Amino acid sequence: MIIPAHAAFVAETATLLAASEALAADPTPATLAAAQQAWQAAYVAWQPLPLSRTEAIRRTQLMSAINKYPTNPRFIEGHIASDAPLTAQQVNSFGATSRGLPALAYLLFTPSSADALAALRADARRGQYVVAAAADLHLTAVALHAFWAAEGQNYRATFIASDGAGSQLRSGVSELVNAQINALEVLVQQRLGKPLGRQAGGTPQPDQVEMAGTGVALAAQRATIHAVQELLAGGLGAYLTAHASPNPALAERLQAQLERTQAALAAIPEPLEQALSTQPDAVATAYAESRTLLMLYKVELANVLGVTVTFGDTDGD
């Protein structure tokens, strides 16, 4: 599932690059809408990838270049206002907060589609930045795919070989479970908890919705859960079932909770920013279901597998 997901993301970024070029060549409502849709598709396609963010992937810093949130508008505007050529190579040299999906979201969606279009029409360098950022994103996606693929650096082989190598911290299963727990923690705390105002005294915070204004938050969250479901169905569940443990029904309970979480997210009407005030109970339900799901992964799954829930490497006894 991991490598096909990376390939799918590469394909979506290629589509986004083509749409960006069309937009830069002729900024119209139609080309902007096409670029926005391509961005949304790329963002949704991105969601499975953090579930395989192992330590080796982290060290490449490719994922940070793709989705380092939040972006820094001041830096981006500075680059556009400068005289430097705006190419993929140039954007590649920028900091992560001026690149990747968040930077493109800033250029394509904010503060509104009409404003974004007006800005693109007013300054051709803005369109060049969109194209350069999209090209850089695509090249980064290709590099990330190549890192895994057999025809590239073949990290796949290393990853498989690391399973059960005698060190809990480095085993493939351990890293995969940790990455899923991390993604679910982000879902609970950042993607749902923060907009709900759970850390702000209970006052909803629409501006804290991920990629606010793009209308993609819920689709992305469902994509994350879907990817977790696929990992469970694609081997982890069978591994658990074959694993004689005092928690024999865990695979079924994980599956059921994933379905409940997915259903709760699907019950929230788009966009999330609006649902926070119109359907707060639906959002709160999704949050509660996500928390239960996180608990199952972080506590029960990790315990059954003997996985160390941290990337730290301290001693134990």
Partner 1 sequence: MINIPRIEAHLTRPVSILPLVVLRVVLGVVLSLSMLRFVWHGWVAAQYGMPSMHFTYPGFGWVVPLPTPLLTSLYLLLAVLGLCIASGLAYRLSMGMFCLLFTYTELLDSTYYLNHYYFISLFTFLLLWLPLHGSAALDVRRRPPLARATVPVWMLWAVQGQLAIVYIFAGIAKLNPDWLLHALPLRIWLHEQLGVPVLGFWLGQVWVAYAMSWGGMLFDLTIPFWLWWRRTRPLAYLAVVGFHALTGALFPIGMFPLLMIGSTLVFFTARDYASVGHWLHRALPLRGAAGAISASPAPLPPRALGRLGRGLLVAGFLAVQLVIPLRHWFYAGDVLWNEAGFRFSWRVMLVEKTGSAMFTVVDPHSGQQWQVYPNDQLTPQQAKQMAFQPDLIHTFALHLARQWHARGYPAVHVYADVWVSLNGRPAHRLVDPTVDLARQPRRLAAPPWVLPGPAAAQRGPRANLHRAIYAETGVSAVIPTSATICCTHCSMRVLVKLGAVVSSNAKPTKCSPSTASDA
| 311 sits near partner 1 (criterion: CB under 8 A) | yes
Q: Is 128 near partner 1 (CB under 8 A)?
A: no
Q: 151 or 202, CB closer to partner 1?
A: 202
Block residue for tokens 């430097």? 84
Q: Does 277 bind partner 1 (CB under 8 A)?
A: no
Under rule CB under 8 A, residue 189 binds partner 1? yes
Binding piece for partner 1, criterion CB under 8 A, among 3-11, 60-68, 225-233, 301-309: 301-309
Q: What distance in Å separates the CA atoms of residue 147 and residue 156, rounded to the nearest whole number?
A: 8
- Spell out the residues 6+ positions from residue 140 whose beta carbon is closer than 8 angstroms to its own: 62, 65, 66, 92, 99, 100
Q: Closest approach of Cβ 185 to partner 1, in Å? A: 7
304 is an interface residue for partner 1 by CB under 8 A: yes
174 lines the binding site for partner 1 (CB under 8 A): yes
**What does the chain come to in residues?**
317
Q: Does position 314 bind partner 1 by CB under 8 A?
A: yes
Q: Which of 59, 122, 151, 316 binds partner 1 (CB under 8 A)?
A: 316
Nearest distance, CB of residue 266 and partner 1, angstroms: 24
DSSP-derived secondary structure for 203-261: ---GGGSTTTTSS-HHHHHHHHHHHHHHHIIIIIHHHHHHS--S-TTHHHHHHHHHHHH
> Which amino acid, 248?
P
Nearest distance from C-beta of residue 60 to partner 1, angstroms: 21
Task: By CB under 8 A, name the one of 13, 31, 47, 171 that touches partner 1.
Answer: 171
The CA–CA distances, whole Å, from 38 to 32, 45, 103, 133, 174 equal 10, 10, 14, 14, 34
Identify the CA nearest to 261 among candidates 221, 208, 217, 204.
Answer: 221
- Would you give the binding string for partner 1 spanning residues 226-265, x where CB under 8 A is met? -----------------xxxxx-xx--x------------
Stretch that binds partner 1, among 16-24, 35-43, 47-55, 306-314 (CB under 8 A): 306-314
Please check whether residue 209 is in contact with residue 218, taking contact to mean a CB–CB distance below 8 angstroms.
Answer: no
- Interface segment toward partner 1; rule CB under 8 A; list 13-21, 45-53, 269-277, 295-303: 295-303
- Answer for the pair 102, 76: CB distance below 8 angstroms, yes or no: no
Instruction: Work out whether 295 is an interface residue with partner 1 (CB under 8 A).
Output: yes
Tokens of 123: 């300054």
**Cβ closest to partner 1, residue 270 vs residue 313:** 313
Residue 210 CB, nearest approach to partner 1 (Å): 17
Integer Cα distance of 306 and 199 in angstroms = 31
306 binds partner 1 (CB under 8 A): yes
Among 11, 88, 143, 173, binds partner 1 (CB under 8 A): 173
Residues 15-19: contacts with CB under 8 Å, at least 24 apart: 15/41, 15/42, 16/41, 16/42, 16/104, 16/134, 16/137, 16/138, 17/131, 17/134, 17/135, 17/137, 17/138, 19/134
Tell me how many residues contact partner 1 (CB under 8 A): 49
The count of other CB atoms within 10 Å of the CB of residue 143 is: 16
- Positions in the binding site for partner 1 (CB under 8 A): 163-169, 171, 173-174, 185, 189, 193, 198-202, 243-247, 249-250, 253, 291, 294-296, 298-300, 302-317
